[in-house]
Structure formats: C-alpha cells, structure tokens
C-alpha cells in the first residue's frame, strides 16, 4: 500500500458508515407520505364505535385494540397444520392467534422446537384480528364475535395442495358471515376472504378489516447479538416507498394512510407477519402504539349490500420467513422487508447470484467461495494494475529508505525526492488503495445479504461451521483470515514511515478481533478474497521481478 494513512481512513470511514446506516435504519424520520389528494377515503364515519371487553372503548372511528396481554389462551380454537405452518385460530373472533414454523427451528440442534412467530401469550403477543364492521346497530361479525367451525382440526394431507378452513357466524337478524382461510402447500401466504350475506330485508352497509397487534420488544443491540443490526418493528408500504415506523413516534401520533396498492407488516430479523389488502380500491392503513403494543390495521371502504346479495372483502396474510420469491409473489414491494439498505442495488443481484450457485452446488458456503472468485475475476484487470504498482513500490523500498536517511532532517525535501522517484519509475503510490475502494461496497453488500437473507439462516458449510449467519463458535475462520492478512502485508511494500509501518502490522490483529463477531459467511468471503488477492499479488510480484531482471541483462 503506497499510502497506508488513506487505507486507515477508508477503514474507519467504512466502520462509521456501518454504524450510521444502522442508526438511520432504526431512528431516521420516514419520508413524507405520498400525496393522496382526491383519493376515495373509507367511510369510517359510518361505522359505530365498538366496545372492547377488558380494554375499554375504542376511539370513534377506530377499531378496538385489546389491552396488552389480550384475552390469553383461547377457550375454543381450530388447529390448522400444513407442511410449513402449524396455526391456531381462535373461534372468539376468528383470530389467527398462534403460528409455529416447523421448517425453521429456533436452534438447528433442537429441530423439535420451531420458531413461534404469532402467539397469544402476554410477553410475546402477536396476533391477527379480522372481521366485518356494520353501520347498523346490533351484532356484527367483528373480532369479538363468536364463530363456529365444522371441525377442531384441519390438516393438509399428502397429495393435497390447498386447504380451506371456513368459520361461520349468524347474527340472528338475517345477516350471516363467513371467514374463509385458504392455506397452500409450501406457502406462508394465507388468503382470507371475509364474506357477508344479507337476508335481512333491507340494505346492509359495512366494511372489512384486518388488524395486527404485537407486544413491542426491542431487539438486543449487543455486539454478539445476531439481531444487532436488523430492524424490528412495524413497517408500511404506500405503493411507492417502504417506510420503517418508529414505535415512540407512533406513541405520540398514529400514522394513517389512505391509498391503493399498499400493505403493513411487523418484522423481526428473518421473519415477518404482513397484512396485504386488495390492490384496489383505496383502503385505510393505520399504525398506532398503545402501552407496549403496536397495532396495524387495514380497513376497506364501506360497501352497501342489497337484500338477497352478498359481498366479499379479500385480504392476504403472510406469516413466515422472508423468502424473497414468496414475498414478491404475495404483494408488490413485500420483498423490501429483506432490508439491504442503501446497497440494495448491489445486494439483490449478489443474492441472486449466490442463490443460483447454491442451486448447483447445494451449499451456501461454497456458493460464497465461488461468488467471491467470480467477483475477483470480474475486477481482475483493475486490481492487477494496482498490484503492479505495489510490486514496483516494493522494489523501490531500498531506494526509499536511502532517501529517508539522506533527508531525515528535512521532511519537505524528502517528500519532493520521493515524488521525483515515483515520477521517474512511473509508480502511483495511491494505486494500492484501489482494491480497497472496489472491495468495500461488496463487503457491505455481502454483510447485509448474510444478515438479512433467511436462506442463509442456519445454513451449514463445513465441519464446525453449521450456521453461516452467525459467528464462528471457535473463531477459527477469523484467525485464518488474520493470518492471511498478515501474510498479505508481507507481499506489499513497507510504508516508509515507521509509525505507519507499525500500524499496518497491527491491522491484521484489529481486523481479526473485529471479524470475530461477524457472521461466519462474511468472514469466509473476506478470507477467500484475501487468499485470492495473495495469489494474484504473488504472481504479479514474480512477473515484475522477472521483467526487472530481464531489463538489467
């Protein structure tokens, strides 16, 4: 490296950027909502206030929000099991109150304990509440009403691709309703149709809604936490932009949007639960916080149903891991919950390349190694130019030391003499920093791909590396990386300044400590990249030495 000081500044600036990006993702203000002037608003003023037991009345025009802790364990429930979901639907309201993910264990060494995404327990409360509001007084099929089902357990049988669970409600005044949940094999998307049938003899008016209530539990921000840099909380898509919503901001003021083509969701690292209303017409999306809960809801416009007719209010729910293909198929923009930040433009094609390689080799670790080789090959000529400059600098080291001795008391004269030497030998001392500038964006893109992509979660590589998204439990990869970086410094020219030379010697140690807490997949990438850089620089040094020997003869 011709200018180690520049290298250090780049490194520290990169670290600062990562810290700033993390802060920005959690605390920065969201952009202003898109202009919805002239949009048709849901007619909330037609809906009467709904009294919610044990939580007081909702404010006028709002849906009821249970107090923190909710109703607790359901008295009567329907259990639904597919190949990827194990769900519990409370017949009190037809609420989806618990969902386990059998394909995603909490700990890969305990496959019998799945991730529980939705739950009715007070400390981990996260439930869907759905129903229909009526403009008339009297009973209505909201999430406080009692529903019935034909069975207490439904299972997706082998060879069966779709499973429907229908809940029934009868109001006694000629109005009946159904909640139809549709589950599909291999899918975390759940279709929900809220159906109203009017046999009352007079027109019926009302709206459908889907609501999510979650106990807000901020993530652990310690250095060793796997969730340290991943956003946890409510998010909203307004049809154009993706917004992360701050819980404290929602406590002060709810966020309300009236739009078409949007959705709302609660996310936590690799998983999410989302409410996707129909893309048309305009619906009302609202996010608010009360006590320790945040509440997200989507309300359709009020419809009028003449007697003898019916209406359907369709919603899509998503409960599961952030599998990007399924997210994109469920709703436009839902894949943005896999948050790669400002480096999305690099991270998304990088993930695509990794996934294509993994389909061939069947191992995400080897996919990282091969992808690193491809990236290195793509920038080979660019880094080769820099490598030749460093090789020439290395050959000039004895002459540079001689100049230091000659002008040790005159730094200005030393600087001029060094510049004259570089000019005569056609060497650019700053060229050695070029590989760092090229590698840093890919480094951070790899970081976010490994942190955010659930496909990497618990993905094994070799031997003791059984989870590429978490740190190496024995710190072997960071130590190997540190050793490779130390060897790499020996191939590069020594800085003329003793202080700089000393700093360069300790940088491998600093990086080893720093990388010890990074995902092992990221360390694998940097180790592979360093080894390839060593091989490339060793070859360039050999060629330059051979050319110099030929020139002397």
Picking from 284, 299, 334, the residue at the C-terminal end of a domain is 334
Tokens standing for 159?
Answer: 């060879």
Query: Of 306, 334, 362, which residue sits at a domain end?
Result: 334
Residue 497: the pLDDT is 59
The reported pLDDT for the residue numbered 183 is 97
Same-domain pairing of 187 and 328: yes
pLDDT reported for residue 34: 35
Burial of 297 (0-12, 13-18, 19+ CB in 10 A): buried
CA–CA separation, 64 vs 68, rounded Å? Answer: 12
The reported pLDDT for the residue numbered 394 is: 66
What Rg value do the Cα atoms of the chain yield, rounded? 30
Residue 369 lies in a domain: yes
Going by their DSSP bridges, the two strands 175-184 and 95-105 should be labelled as unpaired
Report how far residue 245's alpha carbon sits from residue 233's, in angstroms, rounded to the nearest whole number: 7
How far are the Cα atoms of 4, 224, 384, 437, 545 from residue 434, in angstroms, in the given order? 12, 31, 10, 5, 22
One domain, residues 117 and 159: yes
Q: Say what the pLDDT of residue 160 is.
A: 94
Cβ-in-10-Å burial (0-12, 13-18, 19+) of 174 comes to middle
Residue-range definition of the domain harbouring residue 239: 68-222+229-334
Same domain? 268 vs 415: no
Choose one of 334, 365, 390: the last residue of a domain: 334
Cα–chain-centroid distance for residue 322? 7
Residue 61 resides in a domain: no
Distances (CA, A) of 13 to 6, 339, 407: 10, 22, 33
Could you tell me if 311 and 196 lie in one domain?
A: yes
Domain co-membership, 245 together with 381: no
Same domain, 325 and 442: no
DSSP-derived letter for residue 462 is S
Q: What is the DSSP string of 100-148?
A: EEEEEESSTT-TTSEEEEEB-SGGG-EEEEEEEEESSSS---STTSB-E
What pLDDT was estimated at residue 235?
Answer: 94
Q: Is residue 33 part of a domain?
A: no
The whole-model pTM stands at: 0.78
Specify whether 299 is located in the same domain as 198. Answer: yes
Tell me how crowded residue 483 is: count the other CB atoms within 10 A of its CB: 14
Same domain, 240 and 320: yes
| CA 360 to mean position of chain CA atoms | 25
Q: How many CB atoms lie within 10 A of CB 294?
A: 22
CA distance 264 to 254: 14
- In this structure, the answer to whether residues 455 and 375 fall within a common structural domain is yes
Q: Is residue 8 part of a domain?
A: no
**What are the structure tokens assigned to 91, written together?**
């017949």
| DSSP three-state, residue 212 | strand
Q: Is residue 42, in this structure, part of any structural domain at all?
A: no
**Residue 353 placed within a domain:** yes
Q: What confidence score (pLDDT) does residue 154 get?
A: 96
Q: DSSP letters along 433-460, please? A: GHHHHHHHHHHHHHHHHHHH-GGGTT--
One domain, residues 246 and 197: yes
**What is the model's pLDDT at position 53?**
40
Report d(CA 444, CA 459) in Å as an integer: 20
Encode the chain (553 residues) as per-residue pLDDT tens digits: 344 344 444 454 554 444 444 434 433 343 333 333 333 334 444 444 444 443 333 333 444 443 334 567 888 999 999 999 999 999 999 999 999 999 999 888 888 899 999 999 988 999 999 999 988 888 899 999 999 999 999 999 999 999 999 999 998 788 999 999 999 999 999 999 999 999 988 999 999 999 999 998 876 655 445 555 678 899 999 988 999 999 999 999 999 999 899 999 999 888 999 999 998 889 999 999 988 899 999 999 999 999 999 999 999 999 999 999 999 999 999 999 998 878 888 898 999 999 999 999 999 999 999 999 998 888 877 777 676 666 666 666 677 777 777 777 777 877 777 777 777 766 666 655 666 677 778 778 887 888 788 888 888 998 899 888 888 889 999 999 999 988 887 776 666 556 666 777 788 888 888 888 888 888 998 899 889 988 887 887 777 677 666 666 6
Residues 366 and 281 in one domain: no
Q: Is residue 207 part of a domain?
A: yes
**Total of domains in the chain:** 2
Helix axes 344-361, 434-452, angle to 10 degrees: 70
User: Distance (Å, rounded) from C-alpha 130 to C-alpha 417?
Assistant: 78
Instruction: Judge whether 1 lies within some domain.
Output: no
For residues 469 and 534, state if they share a domain.
Answer: yes
What's the confidence (pLDDT) of residue 24? Answer: 40
């Amino acid at each position: 490296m011709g200018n180690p000081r520049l290298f250090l500044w780049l490194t520290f600036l990169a670290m600062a950027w990562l810290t700033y990006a993390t802060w920005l993702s959690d605390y920065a203000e969201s952009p202003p909502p898109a202009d919805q002037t002239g949009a048709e608003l849901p007619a909330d003023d037609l809906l009467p206030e709904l009294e919610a037991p044990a939580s007081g009345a909702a404010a006028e025009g709002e849906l009821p929000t249970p107090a923190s802790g909710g109703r607790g364990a359901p008295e009567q429930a329907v259990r639904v099991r597919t190949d990827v979901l194990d769900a519990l639907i409370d017949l009190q309201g037809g609420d989806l109150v618990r969902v386990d993910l059998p394909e995603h264990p909490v700990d890969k060494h305990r496959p019998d304990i799945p991730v529980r995404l939705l739950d009715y327990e007070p400390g981990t409360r996260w439930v869907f509440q759905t129903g229909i509001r009526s403009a008339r007084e009297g009973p209505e099929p909201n999430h406080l009403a009692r529903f019935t089902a034909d069975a207490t357990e439904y299972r997706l049988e082998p060879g069966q691709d779709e499973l429907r669970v229908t809940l029934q409600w009868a109001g006694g005044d000629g109005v009946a309703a159904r909640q139809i949940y549709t589950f599909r094999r291999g899918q975390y998307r759940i279709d929900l149709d809220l159906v109203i049938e009017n046999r009352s003899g007079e027109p019926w008016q009302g709206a459908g809604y889907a609501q999510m209530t979650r106990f807000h539990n901020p993530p652990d921000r310690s250095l060793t936490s796997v969730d340290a840099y991943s956003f946890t909380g409510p998010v909203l898509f307004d049809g154009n932009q993706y917004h992360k919503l701050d819980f404290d901001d929602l406590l002060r003021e709810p966020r309300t949007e009236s739009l078409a083509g949007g959705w709302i969701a609660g996310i936590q690292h690799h998983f999410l639960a989302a409410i996707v209303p129909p893309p048309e017409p305009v619906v009302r999306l609202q996010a608010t916080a009360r006590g320790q809960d945040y509440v997200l809801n989507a309300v359709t416009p009020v419809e009028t149903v003449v007697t003898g007719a019916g209406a359907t209010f369709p919603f899509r729910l998503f409960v599961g891991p952030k599998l990007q293909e399924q997210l994109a198929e469920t709703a436009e923009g839902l894949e943005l919950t896999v948050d790669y930040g400002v480096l999305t433009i690099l991270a998304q094609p990088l993930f695509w390349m990794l996934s294509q390689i993994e389909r061939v080799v069947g191992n995400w670790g080897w996919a990282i190694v091969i992808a690193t080789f491809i990236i290195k090959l793509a920038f080979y000529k660019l880094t080769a130019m820099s490598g030749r400059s460093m090789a020439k600098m290395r050959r000039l080291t004895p002459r540079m030391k001689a100049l230091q001795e000659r002008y040790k008391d005159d730094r200005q004269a030393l600087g001029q003499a060094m510049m004259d030497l570089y000019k005569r030998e056609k060497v650019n001392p700053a060229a050695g920093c070029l590989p760092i500038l090229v590698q840093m964006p890919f480094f951070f893109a790899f970081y976010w791909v490994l942190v955010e992509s659930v496909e990497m979660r618990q993905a094994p590589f070799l031997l003791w590396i059984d989870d590429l998204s978490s740190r190496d439990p024995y710190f072997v990869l960071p130590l190997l990386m540190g050793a490779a970086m130390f060897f790499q410094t020996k191939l590069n020219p020594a800085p003329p300044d003793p202080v700089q030379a000393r700093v360069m010697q300790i940088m491998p140690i600093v990086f080893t400590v720093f990388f010890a807490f990074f995902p092992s997949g990221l360390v694998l990438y940097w180790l592979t990249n360093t080894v390839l850089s060593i091989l490339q620089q060793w070859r360039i040094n050999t060629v330059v030495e051979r050319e110099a020997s030929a020139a002397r003869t």
